[in-house]
Structure formats: C-alpha cells, structure tokens
C-alpha cells in the first residue's frame, strides 16, 4: 500500500532500522532514534542492470509529495541512462549524453542537488540554534526550575535582564569564564553586588544541568568563587536565596532550642528588628487576625508599627505560645519566665552554627528581605512600611497610606519564597510539622 501522511506520522522507532515502502521504489527508513529517511531504489538500463540507491533526506523536512516528485525525476534520469546518485555526488554530466538528457540532468541538479544541500544547511543551523545558551536555558527553566520552585520569576528575570543579552546567542559549550565575569562586573557597576552574585549562582546551576545533559564539560560559573564577585562587609550583606536556604536548613538541623530556631526564622519573615521580637509580649499579637501591633515605645522612631503575619508566621507564634509556659513574653528567658531572652542570645546561637554563608549579622535579615522584595518588583513604599522606615520630604507628608492589604500579600509572598529556598529535593519543608500551616508537611 502507498504511504500516507497519517501513516508516516504514526511510524515508531524499533530496536533496529526498518523500511516502509511507497511506490515505484520509494521507501522511508525508520531509524532506531526515530529519524525517518526517504530513499529510492532504481536501475539504469532496465531489468538485470545494477541497482542503485539514493537518499533524499528526512521526513517531514521533505514531505510525501516532494519525495514522490523527486522519485519521478530520478527515474526519468535513470530511464535516459543517467545516474541520479552520480549527479548527487557531483560527477559531471557525461559528454556523450543526448541533449534532452543533459537538459534533464541540469534541471535535476538545480532542483534537487542544490535543494538538498540548502535544506541540510538549514537543518544544521536549526540544530545549532537549539544549542544556544538562550534556547537551552529556557528549556532548563521550563523543565527543571519551574517544577522545583514556588516562585521562579527571579531566575527568569536574571536570565532575561542580564544573561541572554550578553551570551544568549552563544553555544552553551562556547561560554567562558570571561563571559561570566563580564556579566557580573556589569551588574556590580550598577551597584548591585548581591544581584551579581545571584546571577552567577543561576549560571552555576544552569551549567551544572548542561554538563548533565552532555552539552558541555565545563562549568564556567563554578570556576569563579563567590568571594570574588561579592565580598561585602557585614553591614552590606543581603543573603542570596541559596544562602537563606543553607542558613535555615542548618538552623533547623542544629541542636539549638526550638524557640531560638523559630525566633530566627520569624526575624527573616517579619522584617522586624531583633529587639522588637525578643521584647514582644503576647498581648501585642492577635493570631486570629494574623496581626502584630508593636507599641510606639518599643519602636526606633517611637511610632506604633503594625506587622501583617503570614500563615507561616502565625503557625510559628502558635508554637512559641506553647513553648512560653504561660509567660507574658513571646521569647522568655531560660532562667526566668518574667523576663525575655538576653539581647545577644540569638547572636550567640547563630555563631555556634557551622554554616557555609558569608559573614553576616541578624540585622542583615531586614536588608535581605528588602533586597529580594525590590528585585521581585514590589512597591518600594510597601517595603519601607514593613521596615518601619519613614519617608522623608514632601512625599512623606502626602504619603500617609499604610498599604495594609498590599503589605499582607507581599509578606505572604516573602514567606512562601523563603519556604521554597529551604525545601529539600522532594519539595518538603524540613523545619518540621508545627502549627496549622505545617500539619501536612
């Protein structure tokens, strides 16, 4: 039976190559890798003459209709004693060929020999384009990053803003250490050292995947140590997403008191100063409304501050409530329930940890949250309100809005983002089942 497009599309590869015939010696050969190749058998000089075989190209690069036209042209040549295979190979047209045969051979060369070369070049170019860094990175983002991250848009932003414009058109295997440094240096020159480090980390992960997919044998981003990109002083530190994950994983796997682990986590989520948490009393918290009202006398600017609590923060405070043994303090001292923990308790707790993260202090958690929220595109006024910063000048006089609902949504996004950094490979948060938000963990 003659082939049809429906049948051609349905042909599946097998353990070894096999053939499906059309008519007049034309057939398609299905290779084990799935490629379908048009080929033709013909004889020059009729029955008993030596049989030749010639290849056109792949299906569907060449359609069924094109393959049949090619078959007819080849057989017309063979009927005049000329070999399509020899012409395809580049052999000269025989001098003794009849004028009509020469004309037919010249038409065949123009129509098929040149076309097959052009299509082969186009296919090679398409394959090369598929291996550009941009094409490969978008596949990595879709297949690897998105399923594993609750909020992957920061990675996509780094790709689109800084990576693709610089090296997107290069072949994956051609990217060098110099290329990576050029990208990070450009980002640092606009005053965003931490973004430069985050971009390097994105590239490091991308090239690790490229090595696994045999697109390259070298990771140019991994060859650049983080300290050579951003060696910020403590007061300039904003932890990268990877560092947030490392820190909190180490915190929860350590032998610190459970209350200290939760307090450290809450400082990251709530964007408050350390003193504002350790001196908090339960009367300030309304966990049903998910609100924390800090009185003015405990704030740096002597103005009351409202903190919207994410579902994760509410769950942590609920657990701390049980751990506080009836004390009025959210974080009571180990020695006395009538006073909070000492001001340097959490600092000392952090210092006991063996964590592969740059030097930082607890106050850097506020800068960390601010940095990532700005990078994610949240309104600066909302972020400044969460930090209890005053807007100065005329804008501060006219801008009295509290942005309560926007801040609540933003802090929930931030809590989810932090969660996504501390997940293990199976997608589970390793901090343990506490409170309502983690009963299913």
Mean pLDDT of 300-316: 90
- Per the CB < 8 A criterion, the answer to whether 437 and 315 are in contact is yes
Single out the residue of 259, 260, 318 nearest to residue 285, CA to CA: 318
What DSSP assignment string belongs to 312-378? HHHHHHHHHHHHTTT-SBSSB-SS-TTSBPPTTHHHHHHHT----S-S--TTHHHHHHHHHHHHTT-
Q: 10 Å Cβ neighbour count for 103?
A: 12
Architecture of domain 5-127: 2-Layer Sandwich (3.30)
Tell whether the model's pLDDT for residue 155 goes beyond 80: yes
Write out pLDDT tens, residues 324-367: 999 999 999 988 899 999 888 998 888 888 777 766 778 889 99
36-43 β-sheet, strand order: 18-21, 26-30, 36-43, 51-59
Write out pLDDT tens, residues 169-188: 898 999 999 999 999 998 88
Architecture of domain 237-438: Orthogonal Bundle (1.10)
Write out pLDDT tens, residues 377-419: 888 888 988 998 865 544 443 344 478 889 999 999 999 999 9
Q: Which residues contact 213 (CB under 8 A, 6 or more apart)?
A: 136
User: In which residue ranges of the chain is CATH 3.30.160.390 found?
Assistant: 5-127
Tell whether the model's pLDDT for residue 150 goes beyond 70: no
Per-residue model confidence (pLDDT) at position 425: 52
User: In which residue ranges of the chain is CATH 1.10.443.10 found?
Assistant: 237-438
Helices and strands (H, E) in the chain, number of each type: 20, 7
SS3 for 250-288 is HHHHCCCCHHHHHHHHHHHHHCCCHHHHHCCEHHHEECC
Question: Is the alpha carbon torsion for 101, 102, 108, 111 positive or negative?
Answer: negative
Write out pLDDT tens, residues 21-30: 999 899 999 9
Per-residue model confidence (pLDDT) at position 364: 86
Angle made by CA atoms 395, 396, 401, in degrees to the nearest 5:
100
How far is 270 from 315, CA to CA, in rounded Å?
13
Per-residue model confidence (pLDDT) at position 188: 83
How far is 374 from 393, CA to CA, in rounded Å?
21
- Per the CB < 8 A criterion, the answer to whether 304 and 296 are in contact is yes
Per-residue model confidence (pLDDT) at position 232: 45
Per-residue model confidence (pLDDT) at position 289: 94
Write out pLDDT tens, residues 189-239: 876 777 888 899 999 999 999 999 888 899 999 998 887 786 544 446 788
Per-residue model confidence (pLDDT) at position 278: 92
What DSSP assignment string belongs to 398-413? H-----HHHHHHHHHH
Per-residue model confidence (pLDDT) at position 282: 95
Per-residue model confidence (pLDDT) at position 206: 94
Architecture of domain 133-231: Orthogonal Bundle (1.10)
Per-residue model confidence (pLDDT) at position 147: 82
Write out pLDDT tens, residues 94-145: 777 777 777 787 777 777 766 776 776 666 665 565 678 998 999 899 888 8
Mean pLDDT of 77-93: 80
Tell whether the model's pLDDT for residue 316 goes beyond 50: yes
Average pLDDT over all residues of the chain: 83
Question: Is the alpha carbon torsion for 295, 299, 304, 306 positive or negative?
Answer: negative
User: In which residue ranges of the chain is CATH 1.10.150.130 found?
Assistant: 133-231
Write out pLDDT tens, residues 3-23: 898 999 999 999 899 999 999
List, in sequence order, every residue forming a beta bridge with 57; answer none if it has no partner: 38
């Amino acid at each position: 039976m003659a082939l049809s497009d429906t049948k051609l599309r349905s042909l599946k590869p097998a353990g070894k190559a096999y053939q499906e015939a059309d008519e007049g010696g034309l057939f398609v050969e299905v290779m084990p890798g799935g490629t379908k190749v048009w080929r033709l058998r013909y004889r020059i000089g009729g029955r008993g003459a030596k049989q030749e075989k010639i290849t056109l190209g792949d299906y569907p690069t060449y359609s069924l209709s094109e393959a049949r036209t090619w078959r007819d042209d080849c057989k017309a040549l063979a009927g005049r004693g000329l070999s399509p295979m020899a012409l395809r190979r580049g052999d000269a047209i025989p001098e003794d060929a009849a004028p009509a045969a020469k004309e037919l051979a010249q038409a065949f060369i123009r129509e098929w020999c040149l076309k097959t070369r052009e299509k082969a070049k186009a296919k090679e170019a398409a394959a090369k384009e598929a291996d550009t860094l941009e094409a490969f990175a978008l596949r990595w983002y879709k297949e690897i990053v998105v399923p594993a991250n609750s909020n992957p848009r920061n990675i996509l932003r780094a790709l689109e803003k800084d990576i693709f414009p610089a090296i997107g058109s290069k072949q994956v295997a051609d990217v060098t250490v110099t290329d990576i440094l050029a990208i990070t240096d450009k980002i640092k020159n606009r005053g965003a050292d931490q973004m430069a480090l985050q971009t390097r980390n994105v590239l490091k992960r991308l090239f690790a995947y490229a090595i696994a997919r045999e697109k390259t044998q070298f990771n140019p981003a991994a060859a650049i140590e983080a300290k050579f990109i951003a060696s910020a002083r403590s007061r300039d530190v904003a932890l990268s997403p990877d560092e947030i994950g490392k820190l909190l994983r180490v915190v929860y796997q350590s032998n610190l008191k459970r209350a200290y682990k939760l307090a450290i986590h809450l400082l990251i989520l709530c964007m408050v100063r350390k003193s504002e948490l350790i001196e908090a009393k339960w009367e300030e918290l309304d966990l049903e409304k998910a609100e924390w009202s800090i009185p003015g006398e405990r704030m740096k600017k002597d103005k009351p501050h409202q903190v919207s609590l994410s579902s994760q923060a509410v769950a942590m405070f609920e657990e701390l409530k049980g751990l506080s043994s009836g004390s009025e303090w959210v974080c009571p001292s180990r020695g006395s329930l009538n006073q909070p923990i000492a001001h340097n308790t959490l600092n000392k707790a952090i210092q006991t940890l063996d964590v592969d993260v740059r030097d930082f202090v607890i106050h850097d958690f506020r800068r960390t949250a601010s940095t990532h929220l700005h990078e994610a595109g949240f309104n600066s006024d909302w972020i400044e309100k969460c930090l209890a910063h005053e807007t100065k000048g005329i804008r501060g006089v006219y801008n009295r809005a509290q942005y309560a609902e926007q801040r609540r949504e933003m802090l929930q996004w931030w809590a989810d983002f932090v969660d996504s950094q501390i997940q293990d490979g199976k997608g589970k948060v390793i901090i343990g089942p506490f409170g309502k938000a983690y009963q299913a963990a």
